[in-house]
Amino acid sequence: MPNRRQFFWSAVAVGFLAGALLGALFLLWRERAWRDHDQTERQAAVEALLAAAAADTGPAAGDASSRNGAAAAAAVVYQRENAIVAATQKAAPAVVTVTVTQRVAVRDPRLRFFEFFYPERRPPQMRYQERQNFGSGVIVGPEGFVVTSAHVIGQAPTQVTVTLSDGVDYTAEVVEVVDRFDLALLKIPSGNVPVAVLADSDDLKIGEWAIAIGSPFGQLLADTQPTVTVGVISALNRDIVRQSSNDRYYLGMIQTDAAINPGNSGGALVNALGEVVGINTFIFSESGGSIGIGFAVPSNRVRWLLEEVREFGHYRQASWGVLLYPLTGEIMAALNITDPVGFIVRDIIEDSPAWRGGLRLFDVIRTINGVPLGSRDTVTRLVYEAMVGDRIQFTAEREGKPFTGDIILEEAQR
């Protein structure tokens, strides 16, 4: 049987373990209580800061630095509700899905054998089928105007459907297509529709936030809310010259690293204030996915298109009435000139703006608005955004004699 000494030390050991356990439990309870207390104090402090910022007062009433500190502290604490979230909430409801239906001619590949061996026979009749193209758009006018990319609309669509972020579908009318800017203007029935705010794209800064919002598959998904990607304005006034005669010129474009995914063409590029600064257009990519090089048409061109349609019912294409051709070695030798900077008037329409401005066939234009015409890209850039009514000043030569003149642009015949 255990003696008294063993019993004593066993009791001491049990008591020590029990005390240690109770002490640990007490410490855990006290830490949790302090943490809850700190959280309650932080929440109370935040609420006080927000109240102070809203009332334009701080811990020391009338102290400007205290008021500013209160507002700054509240903004930091609530940084989850940042500018990107607020901008998205403001702009996203006006971003829509654009579904374009086209009637496309289809040839049966099995008939190629017949056509090869019997070319004199009557060619087989073409078959037609309907195809759909999906893109995005932005509501930019309370009249129901929706802007999207011209390449989303394509050629001769049979039906265009606009799906709003709340899932409501509208059959849209194609009001105007401006291939030069890759913009198209649609119209849906006016009513209580969300309208995006167009910013001044000339005020953009490289490095500021850029939010790309698109809605490419609103009719196919149960959730018709737009998608959002975030980046910055990477560059401004980017010129992308065409590689073939079938390509468009894209001049003065906005470059962004915000991902513009397939189907987001025609969607909105938004700044931190929730204003539309551009219409997402295309990306540079070898795989088809975004690699952080995307481009958007500046919003000022959208505003210009809207103003033209509202005032004149259509976009007015400016006309010069002249065809220019770059100077080659053969042309320079024939004209007995040595300066290669300039373009020759290859063709001109009688009584056109260029004709009335004093130009004639085989004149050599040296400058336009003071800019030397050193390349075709220079000429294209100068006339790309020319508007009806603009006055164009030029210097030219005729048979070695310099002269100057003005051209007032007019609307091209539709």
Positions marked active-site: 151, 182, 265
**Distance of alpha carbon 221 from alpha carbon 224, whole angstroms:** 6
Neighbours of 339 (CB within 10 A): 11
The span from the CA of 196 to the CA of 137, in Å, is 11
Calpha distance 297→343 (Å, rounded): 29
Residue type, 67: R
Q: How far apart are CA 191 and CA 214, in angstroms?
A: 22
User: Exposed, middle or buried: residue 320 (CB in 10 Å: 0-12, 13-18, 19+)?
Assistant: buried
Q: How many CB atoms lie within 10 A of CB 281?
A: 27
Under 8 Å between Cβ of 261 and 290:
yes
| Three-state DSSP state, 385 | coil
At residue 272, φ and ψ (nearest 5 deg) are -70, -10
Calpha distance 162→172 (Å, rounded): 6
CA angle 154, 288, 104 (to 5 degrees): 30
* Residue 83, CA distances (Å) to 80, 89, 254, 275 in order: 9, 10, 21, 12
Residue 194 tokens read as: 């969300």
First-residue to last-residue Cα distance in the chain: 118
Region of 230 please: left (phi>0), alpha (psi -120 to 50) or beta.
beta
Q: What angle do CA 178, 162, 97 make, to 5 degrees?
A: 90
Asked whether 297 and 182 are in contact (CB, 8 A), the reply is yes
C-beta separation of 161 from 102 below 8 A: no
Angle at 181 between CA 251 and CA 85, to 5 degrees: 90
